Amino acid sequence: MTKIIGLTGGIGSGKSTIAEYIHSKGIPVYIADDQAKKIMDDPEIVKKVREIFEENVVENEKLNRKKIAELVFSSPNLLKKLNEIIHPAVRENFNKWLKNNEKSNFIVKEAAILFESGSYKDCDKIILVTAPQDIRIERVMNRDKVSREQVLDRMKNQWSDEQKAAFSDYIIDNTDLSISLKEVDLILKELNKM
């Protein structure tokens, strides 16, 4: 049976870079955030999401993700309602993807909110990518062209690294990428023996 390896980390930790590296090694990697974005374009999902917001969050029959992000990151209740629509759809999408990759010894499921969504319970092993908060904030500000306050708002909605570490099998401090990638190689070697 194909093993599921969870890959997670707080915003700006560099988990996407680690995921790309793992994928470059020929290992199937499911990027939950990318799939969620595609799912959010589904007309049925657009309709459900539109109903939970008082403000109009639809432009040209597509969800305005930037506007939705601004609204949900300052309202835990709205975020919860949005997740109740998106998470089951992503879970279904992942299960189909997993069936297509069942010949692999293991696959990697990269998800920013692996713990918060509860999907960590489906994983055989979990890799946590961390980095000091100041570095993470800087990375996200540069990448998303957002303010420090906006990054901190997003961080408030994620578990802390300490909470995640308690449930993780491997922890990569992603301060120096070259060192991090060597750690990934060692982890992959170990996972191949499962």
Using CA atoms, how far apart are residues 56 and 143, in angstroms rounded to an integer?
26
Q: Is 145 annotated as a binding residue?
A: no
Q: Is 26 annotated as a binding residue?
A: no
Q: Mark out the alpha helices in 145-176 (DSSP H runs).
A: 148-156, 161-165
Q: How far is CA 132 from the centre of its chain?
A: 18
Q: Is 16 annotated as a binding residue?
A: yes
Q: How far is CA 5 from the centre of its chain?
A: 13
Q: Is 8 annotated as a binding residue?
A: no
Q: Is 12 annotated as a binding residue?
A: yes
Q: Is 15 annotated as a binding residue?
A: yes
Say whether 6 sits in a helix, a strand or coil: strand
Q: What are phi and psi of 54, to 5 degrees?
A: -75, -35
8 A C-beta contact, residue 78 and residue 24: no
Which residues sit in the known binding site for ATP? 12-17
Which residues sit in the known binding site? 12-17
